[in-house]
Amino acid sequence: MSRHTTFRVGGPAQYLATAESPEELGALFACCRRENVPFFLLGNGSNLLVGDRGFRGVVIRLGKSFSGVKADGQRLTAGAGALLSQAARTALDHGLSGMEPLSGIPGTVGGAVRMNAGAYGREMAELVETAEVMDAEGRRYVLSGKELAFGYRDSAVRRKALTVLGATFFLEEASPEQIAARMREFAERRREKQPLEYPSAGSTFKRPEGYYAGKLIMDAGLRGFCLGGAQVSEKHCGFIVNKGNATAADIAGLIRETADIVQKRFQVTLEPEVIFLGDF
């Protein structure tokens, strides 16, 4: 799984399957339930830490048929497997503004809707008009933005164990030149502030109410703190990075130790944004 996560760590999956249609996806879910085999739906692996011993079960990927993006008036429709960068680029091409702050997030549309991804003051909750989802029984239906009940890094999709098949965004009209300029501005801010030169899963922790995780970690004296090949980024303390030879155990251990030290020092609980998959 090191080939399929942005941390670039993780042991093997027992099985890897690709669904090329909603029908195939539903059939895979049904097969796994019937055989009592654990399964995990993989996006771009940008918010995922897989254990060094891998995952005993089926990792399911979405095929190319889930990656389409198209614009119609002020609406942009994207499959769950489309990258946010691809959706933002299509919006730019059609003079549709709103996705610029999210364009640098290295995740898929499905994962972004599930966790209400956000950056630079903009969240998916502000953009998603509807999402097509599938429940555990393979039934497909459409949820409105209100029905998705977005919260901070949360949604009804996550809480109800639904699967996103695609989403429609309602965006504002603007000139492509203005949109491109904003995308360049956000890209530059990322390069300046974030450790993009190292494998990571983006922001490691959710933002505690009333605080910023990165500042708490910095104030605890943990800038550059290492465990094996994992490090609290020297550039941005909210990121834990793989310096090149980290194991999943290194990263998981550093996440736990960082949270423990912050808890003891400031009595603030840091909750990981990262999803843990497999045996730790």
Catalytic residue among 153, 155, 182, 233: 153
CA distance 200 to 195: 8
Is 89 noted as a catalytic residue in this protein? no
Extract the tokens encoding 121: 């003051």
Angstrom distances, CA of residue 138 to CA of 24, 26, 166:
10, 5, 15
Neighbours of 243 (CB within 10 A): 15
Look-up of token digits 């400031």: 266
Q: Is the CA virtual torsion 249, 213, 270, 114 positive or negative? A: negative
Active site residue 273: yes
Whole-number Å distance between alpha carbons of 115 and 111: 6
182 counts as catalytic? no
Q: Where are the alpha helices (DSSP H) in 84-223?
A: 84-93, 109-114, 156-159, 176-193, 213-219
Options 46, 203, 207, 233, the catalytic residue = 203
- Tell me which residues are annotated as active site: 153, 203, 273
